[in-house]
Amino acid sequence: MIWGSALNNRDRQPEVMDQPGLDPKEHAKALSGLRRINTISRCSVGLFRAIESLAIRQPTNPLRVLELACGGGDTAIDLALMAKQKGLALEIHACDLNPEAVEISRSNAMKREADITFFTADALAKPTDQYTFDVVYCTLFAHHLDQEAVVHLLEAMALRSRKLVLVDDLIRSRLGFALAWIGTRLLSRSWVVHTDGPLSVRGALQPDEMMSIAKQAGLKNAQIKRSWPERYLLSWAHS
């Protein structure tokens, strides 16, 4: 394991799931493992609370929501099912650059009976149609990007969103690294997850680093909250 000063500085290394040519079966197995980990971490609950709070303050029927870099679609599906249970009208869209992930997302949504529109798109591309969604969010995506790309991501999210931007991700810390190393092995049999989990923490941002990047992207008055297990949720609302 890596401890102490080795985690003081960000260390982004290529992750297996980011590489082209990954066997589709291994990809699906890895996404299944991540689904288990995300269920335990309950990040979807924090995102839903933020979206629900916006819906109460600024009623829009339905509230249009977009997830960038959706992976296996688990978070979008969770939000759709929680909204249905609470009687909150959400129109959820989700995209990923990998067509294979989009197909897996659609299959997962059908199995769980969630009404979501999935499509293939580059999260970093500058939107041609601005302010087309009320809420734009991403989860476990920023740590894959270098600092300049995270700035571009936040700028693009602000252009796509009319009301709220949310970014959920890992915190780079000794505790976070230990949880990733142990948790991936307890909750998944995928060697891809075992490899990428600790690498993700090493490449993750700390809350103060993310706040600095948000300011560079023009997201003034952004707020950030830490949550278990060693994650943060950055939120920014249009004034």
Asked whether the CA dihedral 50, 53, 57, 61 is positive or negative, the reply is positive
| Domain assignment present for 25 | no
Domain count, the chain: 1
pLDDT tens, residue order, the chain (239 aa) = 554 556 788 988 887 777 777 788 887 787 777 777 777 777 899 999 999 999 888 777 899 999 999 998 999 999 999 999 999 999 999 999 999 899 999 999 999 999 999 999 999 998 888 779 999 999 999 999 999 999 999 999 999 999 999 999 999 999 888 888 887 888 788 888 788 888 888 999 999 999 999 999 999 999 999 988 899 999 999 87
| Domain assignment present for 221 | yes
pTM confidence score: 0.91
Domain that holds residue 131: 41-171+206-237
| Domain assignment present for 212 | yes
CATH of the domain at 225: 3.40.50.150
Q: What is the DSSP string of 1-12?
A: ---GGGGTS---
Q: Residue 136: which of 238, 227, 45, 35 has the closest Cα?
A: 238
